[in-house]
Amino acid sequence: MKEMIKAIIELELVYPYSGSIHILHEFNNLWSCVLLQGGTRKEKAIISMPQKTFKTIFGVNPIAGQYDVPRGMEKFISSFKVKKIKVD
């Protein structure tokens, strides 16, 4: 069985958080990500993103650290930070 590498990412959402979390939910469905923590009244959300998706969006393999918010995502995300890399 092949191991799956995932980036655990902490996001700061744009106010109003309820709208941003709904857009993030659609983003997760499109890119096979999983919402691990977040809500309509919380500024921060945590998602799990497959390595393949991360590499498609950023052009590099994920490493822990701060990344610029990808163009187009600034409407619902103000900060993008990889907290850790997880191997399943």
Which CATH number do you get for residue 18? Answer: 3.30.70
In which residue are the tokens 């857009």 written?
A: 23
pLDDT tens-digit map of 49-63: 999 999 999 999 999
Residue range(s) defining the domain that contains residue 63: 5-87
43: pLDDT strictly greater than 90? yes
> Considering its fold, how many domains does the chain have in total?
1
* pTM of this structure: 0.88
4 compared with 35, residue with greater pLDDT:
35
Report, in this order, helix, strand and coil percent for the chain, each rounded to 5. Answer: 30, 40, 30
1: pLDDT strictly greater than 60? no
The average confidence (pLDDT) of the chain is: 92
